[in-house]
Amino acid sequence: MKIHEYQAKEILARYEIPVTNEILCYSVGEVQDAAQKLGFPAVVKAQVLTGGRGKAGGVKLVRNGEEATAAAEKILGMDIKGFIVEKVLVAQGVSFVSEIYAGLTIDRNTKSAVFMVSREGGVEIEEVAKDNPEAILKFAIDPDLGMAPFFARKIAFALFDDMNLVHQATDLFQKLYKVFIDTDASLVEINPLVITSENQLLALDGKMTFDDNALFRQPEILALNEPSEDEKKEIDAKEKGLSYIRLDGSIGCMVNGAGLAMATMDMIKLYGGEPANFLDIGGSSNPQKVIDAMNLILSDKNVKVIMINIFGGITRCDDVAKGLIAALEQIKIQIPIVIRLSGTNSKEGLAILKSANLPTVETMSEAAQKAISLSVDFLR
């Protein structure tokens, strides 16, 4: 789960990490007032749950009231990668001498939290990672030790010679680790963390994402969730036991299991088609689940054909077939369906579908090819 910059900085501030003075605004008038209150120069920043807002023109430095108004008018309502800007953050301008990157995430390989720092802050860290990987220093954290003072100091010394800054950073890094652990974050990032002209460390930006698996024990974090329209659909699906992600193609997919669902999408692409969605219905033959899944797929008007790919494991194919028939009797579907059923009792399952006049194919590749040709025919 993602949150906005202003929310991330509120959390950082709660842990006494120094952040810029700033005010959240929803209208041009609010931006004008906020800028007057904070003084000039100030920065107006779009608050959207996606990256790349700077490149999109969603961040503007303003030196007077007129510029503040112009920036607010331009940024509020702006479309950044499909996200409409509904609120902006007005932050006090800060003069600084250098920019640092500091971040925490999970490292799959060491199976631990890892602290990352770089002297090349202020730019996208992914670009630094690609162009100049040595510039990023990584410190795996032993979960039994946590961010011990000596460890935070070790990281601070990797960045600074000035003891004043080392002390500040040691303290800040320990707090940042505490934020990460306390909130079950999957990423906490300050970029840039600047050294101001007064030689103080200050977080100019903040980014946090959280482990979806841990949200059950993070009610305060969960309350910050602002799902997009597509995400609302995904959440809705999840409540029905379905895992759904909308894509741009025309072939609706219904599959049991995440891995097989991914492989099904791959198969469609391999033969030149475009999947309309990722949809894992899990392992059950419950007709209601199939109905819910069908309705979800059909809510996407781009879908021209539905491809059902079920591997019967514990759930036997004959049960799956009965569930499919029960579901299809209840909802009218105007577009073609291709069903591929394989695994335990597949012969019996296919016979049941055949007797109900439902078209079946034997392999995944056949199913994909048939679905693609049907989607093309449909367009004609």
Partner 1 sequence: MSILVNKNTKLLVQGITGRDGSFHTKKMIEYGTNVVGGVSPGKSGQSVHGVPVFNTVADAVKATGANTSVIFVPAPYAADAVLEAAEAGIGLVIAISEGVPTLDMVRITPYLQKRGTKLVGANCPGLISPDEAMVGILPGNIFLKGNIGLMSRSGTLTYEMVYQLTTNGLGQSTCVGIGGDPVAGLYYEELLQMFEEDPETDAIVLIGEIGGDAEERAAQYIKEHITKPVVGFIGGLTAPPGKRMGHAGAIISSGTGTGAEKIAAFEAVGVQVARQPSEIPELLKKLLKI
Examine residue 211 and tell whether it contacts partner 1 (CB under 8 A): yes
Give whichever of 98 and 344 is closer to partner 1, judged by the CB atom: 344
| Nearest to partner 1 of 6, 244 (CB atom) | 244
Q: Which of 135, 181, 326, 335 binds partner 1 (CB under 8 A)?
A: 181
Interface residue with partner 1 among 75, 311, 337, 349 (CB under 8 A) is 311
Applying CB under 8 A, which part among 13-21, 102-110, 161-169, 293-301 lies near partner 1?
102-110
Question: Is 220 a residue that touches partner 1 (CB under 8 A)?
Answer: no
Nearer to partner 1, 35 or 128 (CB): 128
- Closest distance between partner 1 and the C-beta of residue 211, in Å? 5
Q: Using the rule CB under 8 A, which residue among 7, 98, 243, 286 binds partner 1?
A: 243
Q: Of 143, 149, 272, 359, which one interacts with partner 1 (CB under 8 A)?
A: 143
Q: Work out whether 290 is an interface residue with partner 1 (CB under 8 A).
A: no
Q: Residues 345, 350, 351, 352: what is their CA dihedral angle, to the nearest 10 degrees?
A: 90
Nearer to partner 1, 106 or 335 (CB): 106
Q: What character string, x for contact with partner 1 (CB under 8 A) and - otherwise, covers 60-99?
A: ----------------------------------------
Smaller CB separation from partner 1, 283 or 287: 283
Give bridge partners of residue 91 from the DSSP assignment: 22, 43
To the nearest whole angstrom, how small is the minimum distance from the Cβ of residue 238 to partner 1? 10
Q: Which residues are CB-contacts of 76 (< 8 A; sequence separation ≥ 6)?
A: 26, 27, 28, 31, 85, 86, 87, 88
Shortest CB 368 distance to partner 1, Å: 9
| Residue 222 lies near partner 1 (rule: CB under 8 A) | no
Task: Based on the shown chain and the rule CB under 8 A, indicate whether residue 133 belongs to the binding site for partner 1.
Answer: no
Stretch that binds partner 1, among 36-44, 60-68, 122-130, 327-335 (CB under 8 A): 122-130
Nearer to partner 1, 76 or 255 (CB): 255
Shorter beta-carbon distance to partner 1: residue 20 or 369: 369
Q: How many other CB atoms sit within 10 Å of the CB of residue 379?
A: 8
SS (H, E, C) the chain: CECCHHHHHHHHHHCCCCECCEEEECCHHHHHHHHHHHCCCEEEEECCCCCCCCCCCCEEEECCHHHHHHHHHHHCCCEECCEECCCEEEEECCCEEEEEEEEEEEECCCCEEEEEEECCCCCCHHHHHHHCHHHEEEEEECCCCCCCHHHHHHHHHHHCCCHHHHHHHHHHHHHHHHHHHHCCEEEEEEEEEEEECCCCEEECCCEEEECHHHHHHCHHHHCCCCCCHHHHHHHHHHHCCCEEEECCCCEEEEECCHHHHHHHHHHHHHCCCCECEEEECCCCCCHHHHHHHHHHHHCCCCCCEEEEEEEECCCCHHHHHHHHHHHHHHCCCCCCEEEEEEECCHHHHHHHHHHCCCCEECCHHHHHHHHHHHHHHHHC
Sole binder of partner 1 in the list 163, 235, 270, 333 (CB under 8 A):
270
The residues annotated as belonging to the active site are 101, 189
Interface with partner 1, residue 112, by CB under 8 A: yes
Site residues (CB under 8 A) for partner 1? Answer: 106, 108-109, 111-113, 126, 129-130, 142-144, 181, 184, 186, 211-214, 216-217, 243, 245, 247, 255-263, 265-270, 275, 278, 280, 283, 311-314, 342-344, 363-365
